[in-house]
A and B are shown apart, each in its own frame.
Chain A
Amino acid sequence: MIANAFSTSATKPSLESLIRLLALLAGVALLVVGLLFPLVAMLVKSLQDRAGDFIGLANFAQYFQTPALVNSIANSLRVALMTTVAVVGLAFVCAYGITRTCMPGKRLFRMLAILPILAPSLLPAISLVYLFGNQGFLRDVLAGHSIYGPIGIVIGMSFWIFPHALMLLTTALTNSDARLYEAAEALGIPKWRTFLTITLPGVRYGLISCLFVVFTLAITDFGVPKIIGGQFSVLATDVYRQVVGQQNFQMGAVVSVILLLPAVLSFIVDRWIQRRQVAQLSARAVPWQPTANPLRDWIFALLCYTVAGVILLVIGTAVYASLIQFWPYNLSFTLEHYTFQGMADGGWGAWFNSLKLAFSVALVGTLVIFFNAWLIEKSEGYRPLRQGLHFMAMLPMAVPGMVLGLAYIFFFNQAGNPLNWLYGTMAILVLNTLVHFYTVCHLTSVTALKQLDPEFEAVGASLKVPFWITFSRVTLPVSLPAVLDISVYLFVNAMTTVSAVVFLYNSDTRLASVAVLHLDEAGYFASAAAMAVLIFLTSLVVKLLHAVLTHVLLNNAQRWRLAG
């Protein structure tokens, strides 16, 4: 019996499981090099002096003794909290309008509401300067307050974070159980009590999750405070100022570590909530359908279209600003700003670099992330490796772009790092962007894969078909909608991101989003607006292409979906 127990426990390694193991190791290596090592390098840097000697927490002590730096913590918390309240409140009203009323033009509103995601966060900041700045045509609305500072930051952030919150809350509010509402009605419960006792508890997890996502986005954003913050400094701009302005890398690392804390905290809370949310809605729930109520419907329509109007106003302002000679003195039409004379090497090169980056990340990222998710979800054995990979795939969500970018400098620019050659190349920008936006894509992949029949792989194996053939002939085509979603998500984010890559470009790989920043710093405001608009339009075109492609694929190449 004992001899028997030993003889059967070992499995002969087959070629397939060897390839699987190598693929898993490659996935792990990618995230170890692209995420863990840089973060460790950054943590180490925060404990060293300029000469590279270990000095314990001396940098942190110095940080907390410098009022100018410590103030940023309170500033960051303040604007992030204000943004959170504003965005979540507004998004909840709009999401309620979409899901729980019969307001007219829901589809149009949803399309308009998503537009801010396609622009870099620098765009609303630039528009706000035109609207409310010293020469702004709505300047008087602020009643003497300056747009440069917390007011501008909160409005700008609210603009580009709004779509994220709207999507999360729409999803939360869509899951409703009509039976509860019918029961309440039968019992004669007043509407306001129904709202408090059924609607709100039903969305509580979605709401809390949304609060934390919005807070994290707000506290880590760099673009908006950089453009419109003026003298009002926040943590994200401090990192930039310490590193790029004062070349004080140690202090940059210290601020990064501090910036990491709220993000990690909200990440943990979000994970905890996600775990509790499971099976909140029973399978027998009947979706609730709103019935027409003209007064309510038109009130919500009015509110939603006011929001949509503001979104169009902000984008329209940037477009307008990029097309006129010189605000507010010469309002004649011109395309001159699209020649980007403020940039020595021309702005179109930067735009082309961004395009290259976005396509590379969309292509490489989609395949790598989806395949890694497949390895985690659909393969047997190597459990510790798969769990480790999953854990690392979840981490990037908790790492702000500024922190990741700076961490890359510390790790890849180290003397003696064999990967040093990557520094300053397009490859490092691709790697950085891929890792930066890894988590959402990973979660999308996992969700899509979980919906597939768990026995596809077993059937393939029983028919002696290698796993990579079943992956490419079945798993990938069946998951195509999710795969396309991931690729367009990566494309748009690669196009618009500025926080991480601002530390990593060199003169050959300058990106469009970074160019917006430089044009703005150099005083070429109209050109900055033009570049931001160019990024927005590029994302918009790709998003539309994606919509068309998805439509065509679902109707032709994916005929099988309609067969039933």
Chain B
Amino acid sequence: MHTTMTSLLAADSPAVMTPTTPHLRINTVTKRFGSFTALDGISLTINEGEFVCFLGPSGCGKTTLLRTIAGLTKQTTGTLIQRGNDISALPTQARDFGIVFQSYALFPNLTVFNNVAYGLRNRRVDRAHIHARVAELLALVNLTGSETKYPAALSGGQQQRVALARALATEPGLLLLDEPLSALDARVRGHLRSQIKALQARLGVTTIMVTHDQEEALTMADRIVVMNHGVIEQVGTPAEIYHQPASAFVASFIGSMNFLDVTVQGSTQALVGSTPCACLPHTLASGQAAQLAIRPETVALSRDGGALKGEVVGIEFLGPFQRVTLHLTEADQTLIADVPSRDSSDLDLYVGQTLAIHLPAEAARLYPAGSSHQ
């Protein structure tokens, strides 16, 4: 098994790469379909060996960007540079990548062996080598022994792994995954998520995955590219994306988020109704209407003290925590707080109760008003 991995690794990266060597540079790529702009001046650098996720709601352009990288869609303007070579005008066949589609697109009339060997056969390598290579790949995805089966006889998860083995067979420098897990049920998905991530880390192959599932992106990616309406909203590590969302869209798209209508007051404070609340430094002008974004798990509740008051209007039990819906009495707005189950007994929660609300300044961010619509 160990030799297997080194041989795969050796094929992928001839020299030891530092993590910041760029593999793919996307320069101001724009794609228009008639009057519709699917990609609007996308610029992005993906480093060697990195696992990058394109995340966004459907129609945000993430799949179009992936297909543009694969040469399946031709960009209207802009360039793509892979390992220093301009691939902008190259047809799909001349580009260096392997791809796994959402549907897997396994050839139904070919056995698992022939599916995996599909790209190898064409390279005029001898049969013994093909057999060894296919055996190696099937071992890698834990499907040894399935060589003679047809795709229809495999489970969804197994089909997905055959598609992965087929994509890796020709030792591509770049692996593209187009929503590879969305066709699977939740349990298989969770299992495969870690398998794919581990495989990618072992092989060190630069990988781009498209997904609309934020959990998938947060758990698998080294870096996440959040997209919306054909533009990149933010690029960052999962922690950066979650804790420091660059826009109201990112804040609302990833995880749960409260948005309160506030009035800016100074550079680190805003008024919720008429109650001043501290927040992170921002550049909005005083007196301007804004939105204060704060995650439910950072909201602290207490039985007394504090200036901001709210009435409990709903309590949901969610296992590790309770989700408390509060009505801000004075500001006439709704706020959600996630209270860890072990703290909730101190509060003795019941509907109709009035509680004091603390919004920690280091977790409260201001965004311009009306910008959080997904």
Contacts and interface: CB of A to CB of B under 8 A. Distances in A.
Interface stretch (A39-47, A178-186, A392-400, A451-459): A451-459
Most buried by A among B95, B122, B170: B122
B108 A478 contact: yes
B169 interface: yes
Contact of B101 (A17, A455, A558): A455
Contact of B93 (A1, A453, A455, A461): A461
A11 B68 CA distance: 13
Interface stretch (B70-78, B247-255, B268-276, B346-354): B70-78
A336 interface: no
Given A4-B79, A459-B99, A559 B150 contact: yes
Contact of B122 (A5, A7, A464, A558): A464
A467 B79 CA distance: 26
Interface stretch (A103-111, A204-212, A405-413, A469-477): A469-477
B77 A458 contact: no
Nearest to B103: A453
A282 B78 CA distance: 42
A453 B163 CA distance: 14
Interface in A56-77: none
A558 B88 contact: no
Q: Chain A's interface: helix, strand, loop or mixed, by majority?
A: helix
A473 B117 CA distance: 13
A126 B283 CA distance: 94
A463 B166 contact: yes
Contacts of A5: 76-77
B110 to A, nearest CB: 7
Contacts of A10: 89
A12 interface: yes
B93 A16 contact: yes
B183 interface: no
Contact of A12 (B28, B90, B97, B150): B90
Interface in A465-498: 465-466, 469, 473-474, 477-478
Interface residues on B, range: 35 or more
Interface string A1-22: 1001101111110101100000
B77 A453 contact: no
Given A5-B77, A11-B89, A463-B166, A458 B105 contact: yes
B92 A462 contact: yes
Nearest to A560: B150
Contact of B103 (A11, A455, A463): A455
Interface residues of A, number: 37
Contacts of A558: 109
A293 B153 CA distance: 41
A51 interface: no
B170 A463 contact: yes
A461 B92 contact: yes
A4 B119 contact: no
B109 A464 contact: no
Interface string B146-174: 00011111000000000000110110100
B91 A564 contact: no
A463 B118 contact: yes
A295 interface: no
A9 B77 contact: yes
B109 A463 contact: no
Interface in A361-397: 380
B109 A478 contact: yes
Contact of A469 (B77, B91, B122): B122
A458 B90 CA distance: 14
A275 interface: no
Contacts of B90: 12
Interface string B111-127: 00000001101110000
B242 interface: no
Given A1-B28, A463-B170, A563-B149, A458 B91 contact: no
Contacts of A474: 107, 109-110
Q: Which 3 A-B pairs have the closest CB atoms?
A: A463-B119, A564-B152, A455-B105
Given A11-B91, A462-B95, 17 more contacts: A4-B78, A8-B78, A10-B89, A11-B89, A458-B72, A462-B97, A463-B118, A463-B122, A464-B122, A464-B123, A469-B122, A473-B110, A560-B108, A560-B110, A563-B149, A563-B151, A564-B153
Interface of A: 1, 4-5, 7-12, 14, 16-17, 380, 453-456, 458-466, 469, 473-474, 477-478, 558-561, 563-564
24 contacts: A5-B76, A8-B77, A8-B88, A9-B76, A11-B89, A14-B91, A14-B94, A16-B93, A17-B91, A456-B105, A458-B70, A459-B118, A462-B70, A462-B98, A462-B99, A463-B119, A464-B170, A465-B121, A466-B122, A473-B110, A477-B109, A560-B151, A561-B108, A563-B150
